């Protein structure tokens, strides 16, 4: 008997609901129905519609607790005597997607207790589950799977699938950074919805590359919004999927890994970032070659992390190499080349080579204004960096002017609570303080610290820096008790989070020593200065400005000893 | 709701074995041994020489084992001089994930005591071992409400059944009863002897023990689950069953038979009996009408007559069941629920099959084996390959046996396999098939 495959015969959503209702109506003893649906929101909607189709039939929804191991016991906990159909939801809380769960207790229990289920419940048991769970049930509990009285699959229609795939394939994320806050919010909502919809498509029909693209786009959107912790899970999924779809040593997998590392660094997991970036750099050199743009990006990222962990010398070597190569490979005014110059300038500044930094920063700012425009986030970053250097060099008025401009721009472009906006606030406050405008500084710093604690977390490196700065302002104003409390907190947290030898930790130790000194607690001050100076000599060398300043502090303090 | 179509739905419960009204003897179209006939024949011929029949039966999940065993029970009970059949469904007693062979023996004794009391009015409570078992089971008193004077065999069964859900009591009872393994079986045999003497006075010929669902056991205490546990229970500890002075039939897992058939034969004295699928096509893939005739009869006994289902719809469901009865019943339920009127038409059958097609996901490894099976002329599977074992367990591949030719000779007892027909309608099948052919070309 020749006939078409059944693809054209499958039931639409309405018909499936009607059929499911019919199973419930016809059943006169225990029966088991599987309803597969990946999208939890859609599932709730379907259950609601079923209940209205079945108006006169008593039904109930059983929401399983997250770690339920046994359906039978869950059924026994309650009495469902007069309930003709029981909709069980929450099974995905038993086994997460992607885990090898075939031998999970819950699956084994299902197989083992299926004959006992009718003793606990005598109506139609409708088990709602995502696709992966249905597949696990089929392979792990074939006996249980075989006694079903109905199998339903609720998924987007074919037209809908095509539309979704097309939408996902059009995604590009290069421009995410320059979107306004509202646009970023909209983008995230749109992408999250699109991801949910795409995941509703049966796995076989789903384009895994579109899924990867979506996760990366989402991570990027969250990252651009300063919500790096929200980006992380998407980066992780993208990495796992990329490995599966493209293979371990494919450029696309490197890209996912590289993104993940950047996010690690942004949320303060620098050790993991460092390890991953070194790994990716080695692999890219081998697979793509020494001067491939992606390899250069890897070197650049790694250098940034080196700087973040205080390995300034390592950062410098890498950055100079990247800059030379980028100029040759990409050209002098390519945005990536400009980034390189900017990053190198940052390292010069960290090394106290302010003149070198200044020269490069002015160069980048001019170029960025021309290439990207006045309000582009990268342009703002450039202005911010230049202002820092002005301040370091004592050009406070120049710094102030620039920083006020940056803060206004950043609030507008990135949003009030974006990490980069918070950094701008912090920087401006420092300049206020240095100019003696302590009240202005204090107001700004209190506001900024509260935002940091909320957005970045209590122990994020940037939050600690903010606390230290606020403490210094207190001290400047003579509020020693407030200053001391905060400084001590910062030192102990920095040692834990960043390590003993991190520049930020050493700075915070120096500041704490200074407070002890002001309070007349000279022996404690000396001990702390000594530790800080030893660390600075080690890290930055004997001739660095900070080291010299530290030594001067120590000498001055020693003189105060009786 | 008791329209004819609702009645048909209710009569096709995939969770229940066939009742005697629903039963159809399909042995001719299954091929292989006519299990019930053989067992009854061997039993009659065995006489009273003190030897016992020890049959093993196996087959796919949902392939009709329980229905056959129920049918066998009815046959044995309807004989002129009937057998007393003790039928123990291990699911009632046993936690499939934590069993010792002695748990099974305990369950056997309590089922025996229960059946002998119910069928022949004989109370075994004074038998030494039943008494002891009753005492040991009193450990469970906390979980059962015992009213005074209620210590009957029926209660014993209830108590031993509770061992299934009460793990700590299970350990206590095991400890209290089983101190000496060999005397344990002797004690049970004494109970059998006592029961046998008593029932013979009531015109029964002998006792037959039917142990159903034993193949569902997943883990024997202290052994890895799956095949290792199956090996332990049915082969290493075969003496637990073979040592019983009683005729018995027990169910063993299909995968164990496929991988350790020789050892099973050695332990039980004869090869396991496989209950193959009902053939709806032959080894070459050609439609086999005999199977259709039997399955139509089977469906019609459950109420699938032309009034409620069109012939083409019915035959399509039969074709796509591959001769797997439970699957056929489940899909028919699907078609009934889809039917908008009072009758199942071809479109409903197609829709029910379509529901299955779009819900199945098959792993790449499984596809490789399935496509190779479909393309191989001899239709065999490598049963040492765990993937092949799992595609059999998942009913992606079904086991068949040819059986008698038209001269009545058993020409071919060898098993062959076929891909479950519905899988061939998956789009991924076509993909897997072309990948397989491309691979062949490369070689």
CA atoms within 13 A on the CB side of A155: 25
More confident residue, A69 or A244: A244
8 Å CB contact of B6 and A26: yes
Contacts of A31 in chain B (CB under 8 A): 13, 15
- A58 confidence band (pLDDT: 50, 70, 90): very high
Average pLDDT, chain A: 86
Contacts of B1 in chain A (CB under 8 A): 25-26
pLDDT digits (tens, 9 = 90+) for A498-540: 788 888 889 899 999 999 998 889 999 999 999 999 988 888 7
pLDDT at A274 over 80: yes
pLDDT of residue B161: 65
Is A336 in contact with A293 (CB distance < 8 Å)? yes
- A296 confidence band (pLDDT: 50, 70, 90): very high
Backbone angles phi, psi at A151, to 5 degrees: -135, 120
8 Å CB contact of A103 and B225: yes
8 Å CB contact of A203 and B96: no
Q: With left for phi above 0 and alpha for psi between -120 and 50, is residue A136 left, alpha or beta? A: alpha
8 Å CB contact of B97 and A109: yes
pLDDT of residue A100: 52
pLDDT of residue A2: 31
pLDDT of residue A70: 79
pLDDT at A172 over 70: no
Contacts of B218 in chain A (CB under 8 A): 108, 111-112
Average pLDDT over residues A268-286: 91
Residues sharing a CB contact under 8 Å with residue A170, sequence separation 6 or more, in sequence order = none
What is the per-residue DSSP string for B69-97? HHHHHHHHHHSSS--EEEEEEHHHH--TT
Is A33 in contact with A47 (CB distance < 8 Å)? no
Which secondary-structure segment (H or E) carries A516? helix A503-519
Beta-bridge partner residues of B419 = B397
8 Å CB contact of A146 and B6: no
pLDDT digits (tens, 9 = 90+) for A371-419: 888 888 889 989 999 998 998 888 999 999 999 999 999 998 888 888 8
8 Å CB contact of A6 and B14: no
pLDDT at A281 over 90: yes
Flag the least confident range among A74-78, A110-114, A418-422, A501-505. Answer: A110-114
Q: Can you give the pTM of this predicted structure?
A: 0.67
pLDDT of residue A525: 92
Each residue's pLDDT expressed in tens, for chain B with a length of 443 residues: 589 999 999 999 998 889 989 999 888 888 766 788 888 888 877 656 668 889 999 988 888 888 999 999 999 999 888 999 999 888 777 766 677 888 888 888 888 888 888 888 888 766 666 776 666 666 554 444 333 333 344 556 666 666 666 666 667 666 666 666 667 788 888 888 888 988 999 889 999 999 998 888 878 888 887 788 899 999 998 988 998 999 999 999 988 888 888 899 999 988 888 888 999 998 888 899 999 999 999 999 999 999 999 999 999 999 999 999 999 999 999 999 999 888 999 999 999 998 888 888 788 889 999 999 998 888 888 888 889 988 998 899 999 987 654 444 445 567 889 999 999 988 888 888 888 888 877 76
pLDDT of residue B60: 86
Average pLDDT over residues A254-263: 92
Nearest-Cα distance to chain B for A106, in Å, is: 12
8 Å CB contact of A146 and B61: yes
Determine which of A24, A26, A57, A201 to mutate to test the interface with B (most B C-beta atoms within 10 Å).
A26
pLDDT at A177 over 70: no
pLDDT of residue B318: 96
According to DSSP, the β-strands at B54-59 and B84-89 are unpaired
8 Å CB contact of B351 and A10: yes
Nearest by CB to residue B358, choosing from A10, A20, A145, is A10
Q: What do you get for the CA distance between the two ends of chain B, in Å?
A: 61
Contacts of B394 in chain A (CB under 8 A): 138-139, 142, 145
Contacts of A15 in chain B (CB under 8 A): 338, 351
pLDDT of residue A181: 66
8 Å CB contact of B15 and A30: yes
Nearest by CB to residue A151, choosing from B315, B326, B359, is B359
Average pLDDT over residues A211-222: 88
Average pLDDT over residues A107-132: 83
Flag the least confident range among A145-149, A176-180, A228-232. Answer: A176-180
pLDDT of residue B158: 61
8 Å CB contact of A31 and B13: yes
Q: What is the ipTM of this complex?
A: 0.83
Q: How far is CA A553 from CA A480, A488, B329, in A?
A: 18, 18, 89
Nearest-Cα distance to chain A for B280, in Å, is: 13
Residue-wise burial string across A434-446, b where 16 or more C-beta atoms lie within 10 A, e elsewhere:
eeeebebbbebbe
Backbone angles phi, psi at A349, to 5 degrees: -60, -45
Question: What crossing angle do the helices spanning A208-224 and A181-200 adopt, rounded to 10°?
Answer: 160
Q: Taking CA A266 as the corner, what is the angle to CA A263 and CA A270, rounded to the nearest 5 degrees?
A: 90
pLDDT of residue B107: 84
């Amino acid at each position: 008997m020749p006939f078409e495959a059944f693809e054209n015969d499958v039931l639409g959503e309405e018909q499936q609901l009607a059929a499911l209702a019919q199973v419930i109506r016809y059943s006169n003893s225990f029966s088991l129905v599987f309803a597969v649906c990946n999208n939890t929101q859609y599932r709730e909607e379907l259950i609601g519609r079923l209940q209205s189709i079945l108006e006169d039939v008593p039904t109930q929804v059983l929401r399983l607790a997250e770690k339920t191991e046994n359906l039978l016991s869950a059924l026994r906990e309650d009495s469902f005597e007069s309930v003709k159909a029981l909709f069980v939801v929450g099974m995905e809380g038993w086994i997460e997607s992607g885990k090898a769960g075939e031998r999970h207790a819950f699956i084994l229990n299902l197989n083992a207790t299926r004959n006992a289920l009718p003793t606990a419940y005598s109506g139609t048991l409708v088990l709602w589950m995502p696709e992966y769970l249905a597949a696990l049930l089929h392979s792990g509990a074939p006996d249980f799977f075989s006694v079903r009285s109905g199998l339903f699959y609720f998924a987007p229609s074919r037209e809908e699938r095509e539309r979704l795939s097309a939408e996902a394939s059009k995604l590009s994320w290069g421009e995410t950074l320059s979107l306004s806050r509202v646009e970023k919010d909209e983008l995230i909502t749109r992408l999250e919805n699109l991801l949910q919809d795409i995941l509703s498509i049966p796995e076989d029909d789903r384009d895994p590359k579109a899924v990867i693209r979506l996760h990366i786009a989402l991570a990027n959107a969250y990252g651009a919004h300063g919500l790096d912790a929200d980006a992380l899970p998407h980066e992780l999924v993208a990495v796992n999927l990329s490995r599966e779809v493209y293979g371990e040593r494919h450029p696309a997998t490197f890209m996912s890994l590289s993104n993940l590392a950047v996010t690690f660094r942004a949320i303060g997991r620098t050790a993991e970032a460092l390890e991953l970036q070194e790994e990716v750099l080695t692999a890219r050199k081998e697979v793509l070659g020494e001067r491939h743009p992606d390899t250069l990006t890897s070197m650049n990222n790694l250098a940034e992390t080196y700087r973040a962990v205080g390995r300034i010398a390592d950062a410098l070597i890498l950055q100079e190499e990247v800059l030379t190569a980028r100029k040759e490979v990409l050209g002098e005014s390519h945005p990536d080349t400009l980034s390189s110059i900017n990053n190198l300038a940052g390292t010069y500044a960290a090394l106290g080579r302010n003149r070198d930094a200044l020269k490069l920063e002015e160069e980048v700012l001019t170029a960025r204004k021309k290439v990207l425009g006045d309000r582009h986030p990268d342009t703002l970053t450039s202005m911010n960096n230049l202002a820092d250097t002005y301040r370091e060099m004592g050009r406070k008025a120049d710094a102030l002017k620039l920083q006020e401009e940056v803060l206004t721009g950043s609030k507008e472009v990135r949003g009030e609570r974006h990490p980069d906006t918070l950094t701008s606030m912090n920087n401006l406050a420092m300049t206020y303080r240095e100019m003696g405008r302590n009240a202005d500084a204090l107001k700004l710093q209190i506001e900024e610290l509260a935002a940091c604690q909320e957005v970045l977390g209590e122990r994020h490196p940037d939050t600690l820096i903010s606390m230290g700065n606020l403490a210094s302002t207190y001290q400047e104003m003579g509020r020693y008790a407030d200053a001391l409390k905060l400084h001590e907190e910062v030192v102990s947290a920095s040692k834990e989070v960043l390590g003993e030898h991190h520049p930020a930790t050493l700075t915070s130790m120096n500041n704490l020593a200074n407070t002890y000194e002001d309070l007349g607690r000279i022996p404690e001050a000396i001990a702390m200065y000594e530790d800080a100076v030893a660390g600075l000599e080690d890290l930055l060398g004997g001739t660095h400005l900070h080291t010299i300043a530290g030594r001067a502090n120590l000498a001055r303090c020693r003189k105060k000893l009786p | 709701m008791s329209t004819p179509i609702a009645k048909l739905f209710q009569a096709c419960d995939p969770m229940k074995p066939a009742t005697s009204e629903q039963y159809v003897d399909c042995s001719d179209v299954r091929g292989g041994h006519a299990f019930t006939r053989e067992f009854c024949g061997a039993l009659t011929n065995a006489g009273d020489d003190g030897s016992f029949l020890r049959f093993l039966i196996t087959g796919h999940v949902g392939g009709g084992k329980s229905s056959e065993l129920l049918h066998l029970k009815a046959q044995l009970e309807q004989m002129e001089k009937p057998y007393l059949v003790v039928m123990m469904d291990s699911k009632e007693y046993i936690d499939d994930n934590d069993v010792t062979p002695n748990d099974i023996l305990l369950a056997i004794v309590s089922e025996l005591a229960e059946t002998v009391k119910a069928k022949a009015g004989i109370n075994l409570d004074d038998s030494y071992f039943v008494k002891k078992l009753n005492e040991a089971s009193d450990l469970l008193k906390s979980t059962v409400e015992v009213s005074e004077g209620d210590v009957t065999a029926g209660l014993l069964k209830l108590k031993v059944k509770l061992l299934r859900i009460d793990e700590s009591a299970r350990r206590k009872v095991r400890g209290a009863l089983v101190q000496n393994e060999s005397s344990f079986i002797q004690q049970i045999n004494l109970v059998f002897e006592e029961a046998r003497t008593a029932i013979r006075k009531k015109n029964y010929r002998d006792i037959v023990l039917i142990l159903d669902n034993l193949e569902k056991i997943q883990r024997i205490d202290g052994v890895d689950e799956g095949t290792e546990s199956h090996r332990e229970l049915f082969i290493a500890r075969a003496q637990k069953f073979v040592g019983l002075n009683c005729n018995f039939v027990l169910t063993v897992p299909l995968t164990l038979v496929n991988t350790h058939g020789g050892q099973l034969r050695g332990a039980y004295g004869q090869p396991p009996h496989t209950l193959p699928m009902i053939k709806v096509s032959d080894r070459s893939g050609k439609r086999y009408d005999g199977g259709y005739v039997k399955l139509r009869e089977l469906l019609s006994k459950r109420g699938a007559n032309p009034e409620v289902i069109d012939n083409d719809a019915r035959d399509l469901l039969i074709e796509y069941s591959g001769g797997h009865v439970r699957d056929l019943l489940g899909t028919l339920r699907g078609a009934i629920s889809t039917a908008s009127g009072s009758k199942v038409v071809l479109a409903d059958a197609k829709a029910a099959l379509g529901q299955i097609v779009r819900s199945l996901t098959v792993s790449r490894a499984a596809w490789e084996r399935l496509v190779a099976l479909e393309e191989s002329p001899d239709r065999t599977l490598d049963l040492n390959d765990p993937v092949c074992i799992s595609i059999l367990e998942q009913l992606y591949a079904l086991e068949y046996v040819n059986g008698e030719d038209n001269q009545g000779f058993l020409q071919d007892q060898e098993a062959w396999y076929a891909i479950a027909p519905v899988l061939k309608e998956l789009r991924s099948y076509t993909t897997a098939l072309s990948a397989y052919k491309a691979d062949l070309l490369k070689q």
